[in-house]
Structure 1
Amino acid sequence: MASELHNSRSYSSLAAPVAGPLVTARWCASRGWPVHPLAPGRKTPAGNCEDCRRPGHHHKGCGCPAAGRWCHGFHAATLDFARIEQWWGANPGFGVGISCGPAGLLVVDIDAHERQLPGRDRLLPGIAISDSIDLTGLANGFHTIGVLAALRGFTSPADDETTLRVRTPSGGLHVWYRAHSGHRWQCSTGSGVRALAWQVDVRAHGGYIVAPGTVTDAGVYEPVGPAREPAPLPDWLARELERTGHLPPAYVPAPRPVPPRARQAVLAAGGGHRGAGRVLAALLAEVAACAAVTEGAAFSEKLNRAAFTAGGLVAGGQLAAEEAEHALREAAEHARPGQERRYTAIIRSGLSAGRTRPLLPGGRA
Structure 2
Amino acid sequence: MTIVDSTNPFQAWSLYLAAMGWPVFPLVPLRKQPAVRDWENRATTDPARIRRCWDEGDFWNVAVATGPAGLVVVDLDQPKPGQSGPDGATALTELAELRGGPLPATYTVTTPSGGRHLYYLAPAGTHLRSSAGQLASRVDVRAHGGYVVGPGSVTDVGGWELCDDTDPVELPGWLVQACAERASTAISAPREIHAADPNRYGMAALAGECDRVRTAAPEQHNAVLSSAAYTIGRKLGAELIDHATARTELTAAAGHMVAASCECTQREVTRVIAAGLTAGARNPVARRGKAA
Q: Which runs of 5 or more structure 1 residues have no equivalent in the other structure?
A: 7-17, 48-70, 118-136, 250-273
3-state DSSP of counterpart to 2:54: helix
2:22 aligned to which of 9, 14, 33: 33
Residue 45 of structure 1 corresponds to: 34
Change beyond 3 A, Cα 1:340–1:89: same
* Preserved CA contact (<8 Å) 1:100 1:204: yes
Change beyond 3 A, Cα 1:343–1:28: farther
Q: How many residue pairs end up in the alignment?
A: 262
Larger-gyration structure (1/2)? 1
1:77 aligned to which of 26, 43, 51: 43
Change beyond 3 A, Cα 1:339–1:243: farther
1:163 aligned to which of 66, 87, 106: 106
Residue 286 of structure 2 corresponds to: none
Change beyond 3 A, Cα 1:247–1:72: farther
Change beyond 3 A, Cα 1:100–1:290: farther
Q: Which amino acid aligns with 1:201?
A: D
CA distance in 1, matches of 2:56, 2:122: 33
Once the two structures are TM-superposed, the CA of residue 234 in structure 1 deviates from its matched residue by: 2.1
Q: Which amino acid aligns with 1:200?
A: V
3-state DSSP of counterpart to 1:32: coil
The answer to whether structure 1 residue 145 and structure 2 residue 110 are counterparts is no
CA distance in 2, matches of 1:290, 1:4: 47
Once the two structures are TM-superposed, the CA of residue 355 in structure 1 deviates from its matched residue by: 8.2
* Preserved CA contact (<8 Å) 1:138 1:144: no
Q: Which amino acid aligns with 1:283?
A: A
Residue 314 of structure 1 corresponds to: 242
1:213 aligned to which of 143, 152, 159: 152
Q: Which amino acid aligns with 1:210?
A: V
Q: Which runs of 5 or more structure 2 residues have no equivalent in the other structure?
A: 188-195, 218-222, 284-288
TM-score normalized with structure 2 length: 0.71
Residue 191 of structure 2 corresponds to: none
Residue 53 of structure 2 corresponds to: 87
- Deviation per CA, 1:120-160: give whole Å up to 9, x if none: xxxxxxxxxxxxxxxxx7333223112112223455x5xx5
3-state DSSP of counterpart to 1:93: coil
The answer to whether structure 1 residue 350 and structure 2 residue 256 are counterparts is no
* Preserved CA contact (<8 Å) 2:76 2:116: yes
Once the two structures are TM-superposed, the CA of residue 82 in structure 1 deviates from its matched residue by: 1.4
Q: Which amino acid aligns with 1:95?
A: N
Residue 305 of structure 1 corresponds to: 231
Q: Which amino acid aligns with 1:103?
A: A
Q: Which amino acid aligns with 1:140?
A: D
Q: Which amino acid aligns with 1:36?
A: F
* Preserved CA contact (<8 Å) 1:211 1:221: yes
2:135 aligned to which of 196, 208, 217: 196
TM-score normalized with structure 1 length: 0.58
* Preserved CA contact (<8 Å) 1:286 1:302: no
* Preserved CA contact (<8 Å) 2:234 2:282: no
* Preserved CA contact (<8 Å) 1:308 1:350: no
* Preserved CA contact (<8 Å) 1:111 1:200: yes
Residue 101 of structure 1 corresponds to: 67
Once the two structures are TM-superposed, the CA of residue 218 in structure 1 deviates from its matched residue by: 2.7
Change beyond 3 A, Cα 1:325–1:42: same
- Deviation per CA, 1:159-217: give whole Å up to 9, x if none: x5x21111100111111111112211110001xxxx11111100011111111121222
1:5 aligned to which of 3, 6, 16: 3
CA distance in 2, matches of 1:175, 1:139: 18
Change beyond 3 A, Cα 1:354–1:168: closer
3-state DSSP of counterpart to 2:22: coil
Change beyond 3 A, Cα 1:19–1:245: same
3-state DSSP of counterpart to 1:98: strand
* Preserved CA contact (<8 Å) 1:185 1:246: no
CA distance in 1, matches of 2:125, 2:179: 15
Identical counterparts, % of pairs: 34
